[in-house]
Amino acid sequence: MRVWVLNGVNLGRLGTRQPEVYGATTYAQLVQRCTTRGAELGLEVECRQTDSEAELVGWLHQAADDAIPVVLNPAAWSHYSIAVADAVALRTADLVEVHLSNIHTREPFRHHSVVSAYATGVIAGLGVAGYDAALAYLAR
């Protein structure tokens, strides 16, 4: 089964700053981890990251057209992008929203995700292990 792991704005900088919040894993290491864990679960994992909201929306449309399950960290767009939320709502396969940090224990503006209402489920606060859990769910 194909699975896409889609990461939003600024997540390409993972591991370079704020390790106390987001961990020390770099984006390249996250890609390696998801690909390896996915293969162990029998999944063909493709990881993508973008700082362009329009590009993410395009990928979500493509995933919906092809019924591809998605692990999505919408990053800051989680909190205000109705465009990303609307694209997630079009999904035709499971989509698990993942946040590295526990957004509920952080600044109030991070407590709400406009995407979550349209996701199959949400994982927050488990660091990169949240991606493992999401992949395990999709492989079940």
CB environment 28-56: b (16+ within 10 A), e (fewer): eebbebbbebbeebebebbbebbeebeeb
Question: Which range of residues in 17-25, 61-69, 86-94, 114-122 is near ligand CA2 by CB under 6 A?
Answer: 17-25
User: 127 near 100, Cβ under 8 Å?
Assistant: yes
**Segment near ligand CA2 (CB under 6 A); pick from 37-45, 56-64, 74-82, 131-139:** 74-82
42 conformational bin, left if phi > 0, alpha if psi -120 to 50, beta if neither: left
Query: Using CB under 6 A, which of 3, 6, 22, 68 touches ligand CA2?
Result: 22
- Judged by CB under 6 A, the residue of 13, 46, 53, 133 near ligand CA2 is 13
Q: Does 81 bind ligand CA2 (CB under 6 A)?
A: no
- Told to judge if 137 belongs to the known catalytic residues of this protein, a careful annotator would answer no
Residues carrying an active site annotation:
22, 99
